[in-house]
Amino acid sequence: MRPFAVSIVVALVSVSLFAADAAPKTSEDELDDLLKVISEETDLATRTRMNRDYVPGMMTVLDGDTLEALGCRTVLDALSLVPGMQAFREISGAPNISVRGIAFPFNAGNTRVLIDSVALSREDAGLNSAALLTPIEQVDRIEIVRGPSSSLHGAFAFAGVINVVTRSHGRRVFAGVREGGRVAGGYVAAPIGNWQMSLSSAPYRGDRNEGPAGTDAHAHGSTNILALSHEGFSLKAQHLRRDEDFIGQRSYERSTGLEARQHFTLSSTLGSETRINVVKDEFASTDVGKQFKGDVLEGATALQWKPSPRHDLLADLSFTRSHIEYAHLRLPSDPALPALLSTNVNGITRDSEALALQDQIEVNPRLTVTLGVRGDHYEDVGDRVTPRAGAVFRATDHHIFKVQYAEGFRPPTFWELYAPGYANPDLTFETMRTLEAGYVYHQPDAAVRLTAFRSNIGDMLYLVLPPQGPGPTIFENNTSARMHGIEAEVERQENERFRWLANTSWVHTWDGRSTSAPDGQSAVAADWLANAAALYRPIDSTVLSLRLLHVGRRHTLTGTVSGYDSLDFTASFVANPEWTFRAGVHNLLDDDITYLLAFPNQTLQVGFGQRRSAWVAVSRKL
């Protein structure tokens, strides 16, 4: 039996075994929720659970049920709903994003990607793509911090943090088919004695829409999660798989993580949490001659002290050991041609330690100040201190003002550090400094959010062109970039049957890399991004939705190229409290969806096979 079919059987059987006494929210209740403007709480920005509009900096929280109703297929699709985030695919089919006008060739725009608050990705090897392909049926919500977040989340929380929170309540099986692809799976949550268990599995397969237009594209993968919890202890096991084959170029990715957490309540004002996380990664790509295998061990202890109702102190001490069994990269991959970039690493270990401190003070009932600092020591790069300061002023119950200064950093990836064949002692951290101001207007049936930001990237890691001497290309902290822009969001519930939302963002960039346009604008990213979506319930059992995504003109080495508009239609129908049917049309306008890829000597424009296509999906609660 094929692996895809085996995964489906395992998922469906696992759900059925624990489906005896379910009492989830009914599908009709969920249709009601789709029409509501919900105030989401999150602890991603401060590790203190707060309404997202009260945290320093701007956050976006995307609800999983709404994402399904809008026809989103994966986490990557959903991220294009976030102001300033532009989702695209690389020529190999791997997902990536550009954040606030700057694109990077790896690490999904230099954001830290978490699944259920667990760091499963391998950023120091330039990898976190499989998590972005998680099917949306598995997603409860997606929490996104826009802007640097390294003071809490460390290296590679450079342009932001994405936390994919998977469904851990209820029981459901689901399946969907679209032209060239399909997904099937399920999730279940149930008590096992004194323990609480949740299991989620979703294998997927794609053909036509997964690669450049005109190619014989094949892709398949899965996201699998098992979680156990008892009182203050939790154990999570996760496995991500991605296999792709385009025009004879193959790539694969395997990431497996195991995390244990124990929370202790030491007193009424003092708590602690200890966590240990082990991640094993293996990936390869023939189009760039890349192979990698390694593991990461991370341990941390956090203390949270609340000496008064208005004062919250956090201290987090962590240790990370990142090990490479082997890592090989050669550009071009053809051994008959001279190597422009060649890295070979075997048996290398990188140790780092960090201490993060945060002080959150409610100065008065209207004003909250958050101060943070993090110190990191990397044995192969050196030391880095990362500060953060923010304030939230609630002028009235409806008007909120924010201001924040934050920094992000990343050490060189292994590919950059070992490019000359040894650890380059001259490389240091790449840094981002961001100042942003925000305004939020919030009512039970409406919300408006406005953000203005200015960022500077210093000591930017970039290759040296042309290669000096007969050796391969090396990297240096030899350039910089800057950007400033505005972001606007609005959502409103007009009545019990109609809700709409819209956002737009504009950014102006200057990029010192050789990939930038003649006027210095950063390549690949668009100046303007916009979304508009509406959900309408004509009858109690049906919700209709339209979503329009606009990607404006983008910059290239020689000038600009036009953007595109994608209009999606989705109809959701609840046949009874258990069954939900969905059908829709993707890219209703049949616009040409093209992605740009920036290389040191060219900007490649790639048309993807995402033409107008219909899809259907069905789910059943157990």
Three-state SS letters, 270-310: EEEEEEEEEEEEEEEECCCCEEEEEEEEEEEEEEEEEEECC
What is the SS3 assignment for 214-243? CCCCEEEEEEEEEEEEECCEEEEEEEEEEE
Considering only CA atoms, which of 574, 593, 594 is closest in space to residue 582? 574
Distance CA 225, CA 262 (A): 19
Q: Could you give the CA distance from residue 67 to residue 140 in angstroms, rounded to a whole number?
A: 10
Would you list the DSSP string of 241-253? EEEEEETTEEEEE
* 12: enclosing H helix or E strand: helix 3-17
For β-strands 160-166 and 111-115, DSSP reports them as parallel
3-class secondary structure per residue, 547-615: EEEEECCEECCCCEECCEEEEEEEEEEECCCCEEEEEEEECCCCCCCEEEEEECCEEEEEEECCCCEEE
C-alpha neighbours within 13 Å on the C-beta side of residue 238: 26
C-alpha 534/C-alpha 578 separation (Å) is: 25
Walk across the sheet containing 139-146 and list its strands: 58-63, 139-146, 160-166, 111-115
pLDDT tens digits along 219-275? 888 999 999 999 899 999 999 998 887 766 778 889 999 999 999 999 999 999 999
Question: Read out DSSP for 464-516?
Answer: -SSPSTTS---EEEEEEEEEEEEEEEEEEEEETTEEEEEEEEEEEEEE-STTS
Specify whether the backbone of 46 is left (phi greater than 0), alpha (psi in -120 to 50) or beta: alpha
State the pLDDT at residue 166.
92
Q: Label each residue of 303-328 as H, E or C.
A: EEEEEECCEEEEEEEEEEEEEEEEEE
CA distances from 588 to 194, 526, 551, 584 (A): 50, 22, 16, 9
Query: Is 132 buried (19+), middle (13-18) or exposed (0-12) by CB count in 10 A?
Result: buried
Q: Is 448 exposed, middle or buried (0-12, 13-18, 19+ CB in 10 A)?
A: middle
* Bridge partners of residue 313, in order along the sequence: 305, 359
Which amino acid, one-letter code, is at 73? Answer: R
- Residue among 60, 86, 189 nearest 622 (CA): 189
Q: How far apart are CA 244 and CA 611, in angstroms?
A: 20
Structure tokens of 455? 């960022």
- For every residue of 420-443, DSSP letters joined together read TSS--TT---EEEEEEEEEEEEEE
d(CA 236, CA 271) in angstroms, rounded, equals 21
**Any residues with CB less than 8 A from the CB of 366 and at least 6 apart, and which?**
393, 394, 395
Provide CATH code, domain 3-621.
2.40.170.20
**Kind and range of the H or E run holding 455:** strand 446-463
Rounded CA separation 104/158 (Å): 11
Residues in the chain, pLDDT under 70: 1-41, 43, 45-49, 92, 106-109, 127-128, 180, 207-217, 247-248, 287-288, 332-335, 337-339, 465-472, 601, 607-609
Amino acid at 574: V
Question: What are the tokens at 243?
Answer: 């296999």
